[in-house]
Amino acid sequence: MTNFVFIAPPAAGKGTQSKMLVEKYGYEHVSTGDLLREEIAKKTELGMQINEVISAGKLVNDELVLKMLKAKLESIISDNKSFIIDGFPRTFNQAKLLEEVLASLNKEDYKVIYMDLDYEEAKNRVLGRLMCLNCGKSYNDKITSLMPKVEGKCDSCGALLEKRSDDTEETFKVRFDTFIENTKPIIEFYNSNNKLINIDANKSAEDIFKNIETYVTEVK
């Protein structure tokens, strides 16, 4: 199956779409945001430093994120599974680092899915977003179709839902600006490499998925 790299502004639905691909097609999902949040949850010294950076909406240093990503990718590839990378690259330097890593693992055949989302829609989604602490499923208390069936609880596993520490209005603005300034310029790089797939993420999760899954079989 085609390996995918997701690039998108905050709350475009990278995590949601990845989970849907995992469930339907058996992909392995690597989210650099999730890997960093796992380190924070361990309450280590490193976790506390990462938390400060994430809560400010800034980017964690390349070396650390790359190390975590590489370890995860090596294990997925040794299991012969297809992967989705969600949240990396976020800068031109990271795009170059990813090329090197994937070349060293003999996996240069990936496609980059760019999920385009308007500023106002991204802001509404971020401000209402609730995450399941146990399975990572995401909900929204401001969008009817994305509300949990029981307030504050995950439909899938029943665990408590919580706001992410970086889903505030102030941090959202920094994250969106960082995306426009650092991440959006790499879209052209992938376009010129014939790796780019453009997806309109202003639609419902189901409609976005219908669009994305056409590339699971069409792009080899």
Nearer to ligand AMP, 15 or 148 (CB): 15
Residue 60 makes contact with ligand AMP by CB under 6 A: yes
Residues 103 to 122: which contact ligand AMP by CB under 6 A?
none
* Neighbour-count burial of 34, counting CB atoms closer than 10 A to its CB (0-12 exposed, 13-18 middle, 19+ buried): middle
Cα–Cα distances in Å, from 175 out to 121, 146, 183? 14, 23, 10
Q: Of 90, 171, 86, nearest to 123 (Cα)?
A: 171
Q: Candidates 94, 138, 140, 183: give the one binding ligand AMP (CB under 6 A).
A: 94
Is residue 65 within 8 A of residue 31, CB to CB? The reply is no
Q: Of 40, 99, 94, nearest to 65 (Cα)?
A: 94
Give residues with Cβ within 8 angstroms of 173, minimum separation 6.
Answer: 57
Supply the minimum distance, in Å, between the C-beta of residue 164 and ligand AMP: 8
Supply the minimum distance, in Å, between the C-beta of residue 80 and ligand AMP: 25
Stretch that binds ligand AMP, among 86-94, 110-118, 128-136, 199-207 (CB under 6 A): 86-94
Strand partners, 132: 161
Whether 175 sits among the annotated catalytic residues: the reply is yes
Stretch that binds ligand AMP, among 49-57, 77-85, 191-199, 204-212 (CB under 6 A): 49-57
| Rounded Cα distance, 161 and 114, in Å | 28
Residue 36 makes contact with ligand AMP by CB under 6 A: yes
Supply the minimum distance, in Å, between the C-beta of residue 14 and ligand AMP: 7
Q: Residue 2, SS3?
A: coil
Residue 13 makes contact with ligand AMP by CB under 6 A: no
Binding-site size, ligand AMP (CB under 6 A): 17
- Active-site residues, by number, are 14, 90, 129, 164, 175
Residue numbers at the binding site for ligand AMP (CB under 6 A): 10, 32-33, 36, 53-54, 57-60, 65, 87-88, 90, 94, 166, 175
